[in-house]
Amino acid sequence: MRSDTAATGELAQDFVRFSVEAGVLRFGEFKTKAGRLSPYFFNAGLFDDGAKLGRLAGFYARRLLDSGLAFDMLFGPAYKGIPLAAAVAIELARLGRNVPFAYNRKEAKDHGEGGTLVGAPVRGRVLIVDDVISAGTSVRESIAMIQAAGATPAAVVIALDRQEKAAEGGVDREKSAVQYVREQLALDVVAIATLGDLLQYLSSTSDPALAEHTSRVAAYRDRYGV
């Protein structure tokens, strides 16, 4: 029988491969919000058709079920978290785990049902679904909304953990945004794949056009990794 670690590693490699094939994970030179020149770019907004979004949801659902996390519902922070939470809820139901989901508006609605929260009542242990964690701002805002509704933030699930030092005010912090969420906000974070998984994929691929990016991605991790 395979260990959980082996199963998770296989899932991560499959996800990286899928992201590259879908054009969501690209290589070259990209300027990040922190002003760094990154040799890769992950844009979850490019999971932009039914087939790709469905496969993405499958990776989230399998990672969640493998993790053993206890949660009662999903929450998708606006904007990217909204379709993610909906798609993951559909896939979990298909796999036999039917849970409600909710999301927030950026601006409160003053008519109809009103308020900033949409979907199922926010209650119990709430799992936040997002694409990446860049600075922890979205997570902090989600925690505040969940707690204001009287529920309990359970954990965060993301597609990719960049495993690099967060930047604040132009200054590198010694820890990543994911580490900040785990240590300062006391929330577990589960990722489908990490920068380490990406490097493993590049170093083992048989595609020379992809393999040539390995050294640049490794150098970036050496400089900014945690």
Using an 8 Å Cβ cutoff, are 190 and 60 in contact? no
For residue 202, the model assigns a pLDDT of 97
Phi, psi of 119 (to 5 degrees): 105, -150
Nearest Cα to Cα of residue 159 among 181, 191, 187, 195? 191
One-character DSSP codes across 147-163: HHTT-EEEEEEEEEE--
Q: Are strands 25-31 and 37-42 parallel, antiparallel or unpaired?
A: antiparallel
For residue 64, the model assigns a pLDDT of 97
Nearest Cα to Cα of residue 43 among 80, 13, 75? 80
Annotated catalytic residues are 109, 111
Cα→Cα distances 199→13, 157, 217, Å:
10, 21, 7
Tens of pLDDT, residues 146-168 = 999 999 999 999 999 999 998 76
Nearest Cα to Cα of residue 79 among 100, 55, 104? 104
So where are the chain's domains? 4-224
Summary count for the chain: helices (H), strands (E): 8, 10
User: Which CATH number is associated with domain 4-224?
Assistant: 3.40.50.2020
Q: Which is it for the CA torsion 147, 33, 216, 174, positive or negative? A: negative
Cα→Cα distances 75→2, 51, 118, 122, 139, Å:
32, 22, 10, 8, 11
How far is residue 81's CA from residue 15's CA, in Å, rounded to a whole number?
18
In whole angstroms, what separates CA 204 from the centre of its chain?
A: 24
Q: If pLDDT is split at 50, 70 and 90, which confidence band does 112 have? A: very low
Tens of pLDDT, residues 49-100 = 999 999 999 999 999 999 999 999 999 999 899 999 999 999 999 999 999 9
